Structure 1
Amino acid sequence: MYYAINGTNVVVTTMLGVIMIARLYTMYERSRMILIILVFIFLAVNIACGVMTAIGLKHSILEELILSGTYICDLGYEGDVWLLNSLNWMLYTVWEVLALCLSVWIAVKHFRDLQRLGSSRTRSTIGDCFRVLIKSHVLYFAGFVCVSCLELAILSPELSTLTPGLMNSTSMGTQILVGVLPIFSGVQMFVLGPRLILSIREYHAKIVASSDAETSMTSIVFQERVYVSTSSTV
């Protein structure tokens, strides 16, 4: 289960990174330069994190404990695995901060350009689209920051006494953090992550519905203004 959870985290994080690259690529008007830069940084971060995760799993210590007659698995680490895990999360944090900064910068640039160019309807449509993009990105980043802070707090030797393992830790703060972390991590990956796509789909659906409603109203108004000639006998 421990290996499966870590593998799932790596896969989901990679998928979210691909979604983020696609969003930024679209926001930067399909710039090949920004795509190359993002793919290069993303691959470098994920390869480094993948290697460190593999090393951490290799040096993980799973011990069988008996607490109140119940068999449980206790997780511990040996060597400098704590440092590798900390570096892992730091690299992911750097990637998320970079993605957020690029999103905010291009959004601000578009808002400034829209103030000078385009009709009021065009400004409203494009401005609303970028607001949806930034809102969903900021919510996702806030969730990632919470998870990252919890993970780094657990890895901190000052906050936890995780030797020989997590379940055998004598720190109450560590036990609370270990219990809360899966909840925040699940919300960040499986709720806020899909919102990066669903928010755009919802906005597109509203635009289509609004456009259909305006077309229907125009058709009704046009029909009201049509005069049908009739003969005098009618």
Structure 2
Amino acid sequence: MTLVSDDPVWWPSINSYRIASYFIVAASAGVMYDWVLTFGYEVELIWRQHWSLMTGLYLSARYLGIIYAAIGLLIYVPTISLTGAVSRIIYVISNSMITIVNAILGVIMIARLHAMYQRRKMLIFLSAVLLAVTIATGVTITIITMHLSEEELILSGTYQCSVQLGDNTNLTYSMYWTFITAWELLALCLAIWIAVKHFRELQRPSTGWIIRDCFMVLTKSHLLYFVSFVAVSCWNFGYLSPALTADPFTLEGQIYPGLTQIFLLVQLFVLGPRLILSVRKYHAKSVYDSDATIGITSVYLQERVHVLTG
């Protein structure tokens, strides 16, 4: 369905669409900028290393983020004209990508927790919980997409393609984020518990500092990621507030979704891949420091041998 109108009553909608495009550009630029900043580390620590499951997970999360940012530009940039059917497909793909990346980050969390616990039962338990959460989120996204409707708008010379959500969509989205939040809380509690336990057990400096440093790296990156996730969840649960849904064309109603989009992209596509990159950087630094120590010791021993035999 196409609607053509020059009625001034549509001007708030035009302004809202324009503001949304600004936030999408800002979020996309942030994802691209982080990729540029970390590309050197990515080449050295990902592409040139032995390929593994973590390599595939990192590349999937990183480059799905870049694709997601490009798709966002296709939807919200007014100079690009898309049909209603295409906009619907892009919207469904975007939501599916968020679900997929959340599942990828869940697998990364399982790998980190398994490395900390070293217990097969814990691995099986976490895998079962993540599978249940992924299925539940997949069902909620399917329900949302089943009630979508699209409409092409040509308003005062500007082209828009609006995807309308069905009734009770905010409640369904809240269920979606409730499942993911429950998983993240479980992962955080398990990470803090085992980290505190290891910090108490490792009292001998001769054997404990290296393991303690490794746990510190895992815990810091996990906490930073979780703080960003809390921000995203709180902003998404905020859609249940009647103050936001009553008049979406107010300044607050226009800025709120834009900030939510920025926080979401940062959490998924910036801090998510850094969960792997931070560990790779720590191991690379540990190997470098170890090699440097061995080299200094070797030079010292060679000088001692020269003195004693001279």
Distance 1:25-1:211 versus aligned 2 partners, 3 A rule:
same
Report the alpha carbon displacement of residue 21 of structure 1 after superposing the two structures with TM. Answer: 0.6
CA RMSD of aligned residues (A): 1.7
Alignment of 1:25-40 (within 5 A): 25-29=114-118, 31-40=119-128
Structure 1-normalised TM-score? 0.88
Alignment of 1:152-191 (within 5 A): 152-161=237-246, 169-191=248-270
SS of match in other structure, 2:160: strand
Matched, 1:20 2:99: no
Provide the aligned length of Structure 1 versus Structure 2. Answer: 220
Q: Which sections of structure 1, spanning at least 5 residues, go unmatched?
A: 163-168
Matched, 1:125 2:204: no
Cα deviation, 1:16-74, whole Å, max 9, x if unaligned, reads 01000111111102x11111111111111110110010110111222223333212122
- Counterpart pick for 2:170 among 82, 86, 94: 82
Name the counterpart of 1:192: 271
Structure 2-normalised TM-score? 0.67
Alignment of 1:54-69 (within 5 A): 54-69=142-157
Letter in 2 for 1:159: L
Higher deviation after alignment, 140-149 or 73-82: 73-82
Name the counterpart of 1:165: none
In 2, distance between residues paired with 1:157 and 1:65?
A: 27
Q: Is the 8 A contact 2:225 2:272 kept in 1?
A: yes
SS of match in other structure, 1:65: strand
Report the alpha carbon displacement of residue 170 of structure 1 after superposing the two structures with TM. Answer: 2.5
Matched, 1:145 2:145: no
| Greater RCO, CA 8 A, separation 6+ | 2
Distance 1:66-1:152 versus aligned 2 partners, 3 A rule:
farther
Q: Is the 8 A contact 2:225 2:267 kept in 1?
A: yes
More helix by share: 2
Letter in 2 for 1:226: V
SS of match in other structure, 2:202: helix
Letter in 2 for 1:85: Y
Q: Is the 8 A contact 2:96 2:141 kept in 1?
A: no
Name the counterpart of 2:196: 108
Q: Is the 8 A contact 1:160 1:173 kept in 2?
A: no
In 1, distance between residues paired with 2:150 and 2:241?
A: 20
Structure 1 stretches of 4+ with a deviation exceeding 3 A read 155-158, 227-230
Name the counterpart of 2:284: 205
Greater radius of gyration (CA): 1
SS of match in other structure, 1:170: coil
Letter in 2 for 1:92: I
- Counterpart pick for 2:100 among 3, 6, 11: 11
Report the alpha carbon displacement of residue 102 of structure 1 after superposing the two structures with TM. Answer: 0.4
SS of match in other structure, 1:71: strand
Report the alpha carbon displacement of residue 229 of structure 1 after superposing the two structures with TM. Answer: 5.8
Letter in 2 for 1:176: I
Identity %: 51
Higher deviation after alignment, 105-114 or 77-86: 77-86
Q: Is the 8 A contact 1:154 1:177 kept in 2?
A: no
Distance 1:121-1:66 versus aligned 2 partners, 3 A rule:
farther
Distance 1:221-1:151 versus aligned 2 partners, 3 A rule:
same
